[in-house]
Structure 1
Amino acid sequence: MADLGRGEGQKSRSKKSVSRQSRSCRICRLRKVRCDRVRPCHACCAYGHPSKCVYDIGSDDEEAQPITQAEEIRNLRNEIKELRNKINQHGGQEARTRKLAELERLFQAIRSAPIDVVDDLVGGIRADHHHVRSRAIEDELPLRMLTPSSLDGIEDKTGYSWNLVRSRQSNAGLSDSHSSSGSSSTESISVEEDWCGPLSRFTPQKPMLDLFIQRFVDAFSPEVDASSGHAGALRAGAEIRIFSPLISSAYDAVSLTYFGRSVKDPRIEAAGMQIYPKVLRSLQEALLDPERSRSESTLVTVTLLLAFESIERTSDAGVIAHVRGAAQLIKHRGPENHVHGVEHLLFTELRPYWAGVALADRKPSFMADNVWKTVPWSAGTTKKDLLDYLVDLVVEVPALLGEHDDLITAQESQILGRGELRAKQARLWNRISDLTSRFFQWKKEHVDCYPGGPVKEARIPQGPDPFPVFRCRDLRSMKIIEPPPLVYPDLRLIQTMSFYYASRLILSSIDDRPEGAISMAEKYQLACGIARSLEDYLRRAPGNMINRLAFSTRVAWEAFPSGGVERGFMAQVFNLVEKRHSLRLWGSFMPELSAYAGSNT
């Protein structure tokens, strides 16, 4: 009978393990690691391949369906709310204060602890864990927890206390990310009830920090509909920061700096600037690691620091360096790693940035390859719109710019014969002609019949917040006039048309065809189109979405004559954006974004 009972128990355990294994994602089954059945799971995120986290579970098995990371975060927040309610229900201000401090440590641990620690914490809370761990965690955490051995046999544990002692041998990555929070002294936390269990593993940060992060996210990744353009990448990155100390520290640095500049408090701004070098060091270590360089957290951090540079502009080439680095990282990761999740949003939403840096570098773009135009959308995560189809054309321009520069160099050095030079010139002209005709076809298909309606000329009421008045020349009489602003049906069309005008202007700079080349008057009108679109966008765009027009605005600035009334208007806009949105990048007139060869204007 005993053997029979053991046999049945073994069968039951075997059946349970098989069931659990079958519900794990493909990668966890292949690597034979524990899967938490979140999409994407923590193990895949830590491994750096969240896009490959796929579950082979039929739609009819609803109970076994994995939940998303957003749902998991919401569940954790709901549990934290329940814990807060327990604090409020318990009498005594002193007890509430102690429990609130304990809860803040729990929140910080969930945000930035390693995966196994988070699993233990969450599992302990959900199971209403009533015993404590007595083993000190010293090798894996910057803090180790020491518990009195005399507690093991005590049933009533309402009067014990926890001692948190900072470990001298902390994890290097976590130390870089969190060394600015808390001191190295010993803390004693009294816990009168066992509802919270062993929560504290990290030093607490100010509760206001999460509010700073939320304010930054609302500014740089506002919640908008498709007609305003997609802006959810940095918001999605903030939601997964609890899984990565690197992302968490990057958001801390950027949000503190942005809030400090917004409220003109140099102390808060300096606090963010103090964290920034540590984030850069941690990022450099990640980039040098073959596996971590492909991870989601590295891509999010590089892109996030681009926002930091637009706020602070720590150097003349800081912004373009981060855009170039992010583009190279995307290329290194490959198109198949940008199909799902945050990495898909970072690639698709900010694709004009990645195309813009190729235009500024005047070198062929990897995004001109067909796989980069198709694979990231192959799973239907998002759908292409008119801006995406425009970028499909724009990514072909950098190769033409590079070919033109090589041709000029060959002419000056006289290394090519006349026949070969004429052949290369004719081939370049044919490619320019073909791309120009495809630009016209794109405008006919996507803009001329735009579902939201046509672009109109209309005076915009100024109100208490006046906008600079754009003045330009009537090319027939050469008199200075004040054309009305261009008013668009939605923000997405403004961004798209501004990028279209800028791309056409850049292409026209190398268009010296004997026939069919764009005229000077047409170039002037393209630049005026960008300038006349700025007021409508600035008045309607939420947060700091104006950064999406930075490249186009710089292109228009360079297209206008030096010292003219047009540049006077553009200078006013640059200064207005810097003052209103706390963006030093705009106040510098953004020379690093120039796409014209040898431009120093």
Structure 2
Amino acid sequence: MISANASSERPWVTLVMDGATSVRHYGMMSQALQANATAIFANDLQRSEVRTHATKMYLDTIRRLQLSLRSPRWNDPIVMHTCMIVTLFEVIQSNNPAAAYPHIRGLAHLIEQKGPHTFVSGLEHRTFRYYRINLFLMNLHDRRPSFLAEEKWKTIPFSEDCQPKTILEALVDILVEIPGVLAAIEAMKTGQLGHYALVQKGLELAYWVRRLVYDLESWKEAYIWTYPTICTTPRLHSLSLLELCTLSTELIPYKHNLSEALNCYAAAHLILARLAHGMAEKSWLVGTVLRQPHSLHDLVAAITIISERHISDANTEMVSMMVTGFSLRVAQSTEEVQDPVLFQSIQKLLARINREMGRRYNINYSVPKDTQRIEV
């Protein structure tokens, strides 16, 4: 499940494996890795006794983790990395990616407690950069505000001598605010507010959505229109969203990072557009504040265009499949768009991602229907 062969998506893996096999840390982290590996073998062999042995190792690792978290060693990097490894066990055992969320919530709390200054360099910095998208997806699932939306978490971990933010990492700085918008809308729905208080809250949320739309367009101007392989395209600024996405899929050589970022950009716009559509239906005044740059249909179609090209290119790195799956699930849950052909394509693309996850990571990966959709 975690290979010692480090790749561009996981530059920290070799260092983690070195820590796992060192004399000082051999126990806890190594046991977590063995529990995951044994669970995979149990899936392959369909042997209940192997599964039982894997579960025993996992439970013993959890016990040791709990002791470490209650001790002065709670801040040790090995504790955090062991937490990351055990999040995979539930996914392997249950074949459901949402099963890892309780562990990810605990890990998010640990990262927040350690503070942003902990992640400015070394292995912890690399880990933070890799794991930030996981924390965003968990907060989106829970509809809970993310501590990553605080300015200090966007700047301090990147404040020392490190590689500049990638095009996707710069976009994540905007994405991490979306769970907070969803949480605020849920609170407004369930709160006992009078008419005028509801109007005021509605306008505040409308301006928040409007600011995020502006931030997304500013990101496009800063990172997409200046991207080296497309910045010389004639009439670039006048291209429609679908034309821009089609252009990105036709580049030779194909640029994975550009397509991943554009896919997440379209998904973020789609979430905000659906929120704006729902808010405008309830209040004409709010609707006047929210003018969306793209139609719902174009956003769903853009995600489909990019995802199909991306999956066809056989880029099966974990983060790449995660962000593509996220965008497709946002598109899949957009019931406002009535296009059977488009949604059939989305279903097929999600099935291909599930098969690739199973093939590459040796898991019978099958997302239950109630967890595939991302509701807004």
| Partner of residue 254, structure 1 | 36
Matching of residue 499 in structure 1 with residue 264 in structure 2: yes
Q: 1:439 to 1:519 in 2, by over 3 A?
A: same
What's 1:281 paired with? 63
- Correspondence 1:441 to 2:218: yes
TM-score (structure 1 length as normaliser): 0.51
Structure 1 residue 487 displacement after superposition: 5.0
> Which AA in structure 2 matches 1:504?
H
Residue 486, structure 1, aligned to residue 249, structure 2: yes
Q: Give the C-alpha shift of residue 367 in structure 1.
A: 0.8
> Is residue 2:158 matched to residue 1:359?
no
Out of 327, 333, 338, the position equivalent to 2:119 is: 338
Output the CA distance in 1 between the equivalents of 2:121 and 2:345: 43
Q: 1:450 and 1:294 mapped to 2: Cα distance? A: 39
Alignment of 1:455-474 (within 5 A): none
Question: Residue 290 of structure 1: CA displacement?
Answer: 4.7
Cross-structure match for 2:326: 551
Q: Of the candidates 235, 238, 241, which is equivalent to residue 17 of structure 2?
A: 238
Superposed CA deviations along residues 306-332 of structure 1, whole A, max 9, x for unmatched, are: 333343336674222222222121111
Match of 1:522 in 2: 298
Q: Which amino acid aligns with 2:211?
A: D
- CA distance in structure 2 between the aligned counterparts of 1:312 and 1:490, rounded to whole angstroms: 34
* TM-superposed deviation, 1:520: 2.9
Q: Which runs of 5+ in 1 are unaligned?
A: 1-214, 225-229, 457-482
* 1:565 corresponds to 2:344: yes
Q: Determine the structure 1 residue equivalent to 2:283.
A: none
Q: How many residues align?
A: 343
Maintained 8 Å contact 2:260/2:323: yes
Name the CA distance, whole Å, in 1 between partners of 2:80 and 2:73: 10
Shift of 1:391: 0.9
Deviation by residue 1:144-173 (Cα, 9 ceiling, x = unmatched): xxxxxxxxxxxxxxxxxxxxxxxxxxxxxx
Instruction: Work out whether residues 310 and 583 of structure 1, in 8 Å CA contact, stay in contact via their aligned partners in 2.
Output: no
**2:356 maps to which residue?**
577
Measured after TM superposition, the shift of residue 296 of structure 1 is 0.8
Shift of 1:596: 1.8
**Aligned 8 A contact 2:307 2:324 in 1:** no
**One of 416, 423, 428 as aligned partner of 2:205:** 428
Distance 1:543 1:358 in 2: 19
Q: CA deviation at 1:435?
A: 0.9
Alpha-carbon distance between aligned partners in 2 of 1:544 and 1:439, rounded to the nearest angstrom? 21
* 1:371 to partner: Cα distance: 0.9
Counterpart amino acid of residue 418 in structure 1: H
RMSD: 3.3
> As a proportion of its length, which structure holds more strand?
1
| One-letter amino acid of the counterpart of residue 520, structure 1 | L
* Structure 2: stretches of 5+ with no match in the other structure: 234-245, 281-286
The answer to whether 1:309 aligns with 2:90 is yes
Question: Equivalent residue of 1:352, what SS?
Answer: helix
Q: Which amino acid aligns with 1:524?
A: V
SS of 1:392 mapped into structure 2: helix
Higher-Rg structure is 1
TM-score by length of 2: 0.78
2:128 matched residue in structure 1: 347
Give the CA deviation at 1:432: 0.8
Q: CA deviation at 1:434?
A: 1.4
The aligned counterpart of 1:509 is: 274
Q: Map Cα deviations across residues 414-440 of structure 1 (whole Å, 9 max, x no partner).
A: x32222221211111111111101101
Q: After the TM superposition, which residues 75-86 of structure 1 pair with which residues of structure 2 at under 5 Å, given as runs?
A: none
TM-aligned CA distance change 1:497 to 1:316, over 3 Å: closer
Deviation at 1:334, TM superposition (A): 0.8
Once the two structures are TM-superposed, the CA of residue 269 in structure 1 deviates from its matched residue by 5.9
- Rate the CA distance shift 1:259–1:544 in 2: closer, same or farther, 3 A: farther
1:86-485 → structure 2 map (5 Å cutoff): 216-217=2-3, 222-224=6-8, 230-241=9-20, 242=22, 243-244=24-25, 245-258=27-40, 261=43, 264-266=44-46, 270=51, 272-287=54-69, 289-313=70-94, 317-410=98-191, 415-453=192-230
Q: Could you tell me which amino acid in structure 2 is paired with residue 494 of structure 1? A: S
Distance 1:543 1:408, change over 3 A: closer
Given that 1:358 and 1:398 are in contact with CA atoms closer than 8 Å, whether structure 2 keeps it comes out as yes
1:443 CA drift (Å): 1.2
More helix by share: 2
Q: Give the Cα separation in 2 of the matches to 1:581 and 1:235.
A: 19
Deviates more, 1:237-246 or 1:364-373: 237-246
Give, in whole Å, the separation in 2 of the partners of 1:509 and 1:583.
36
Instruction: Give the Cα–Cα distance (whole angstroms) in 2 for the partners of residues 286 and 314 of structure 1.
Output: 28
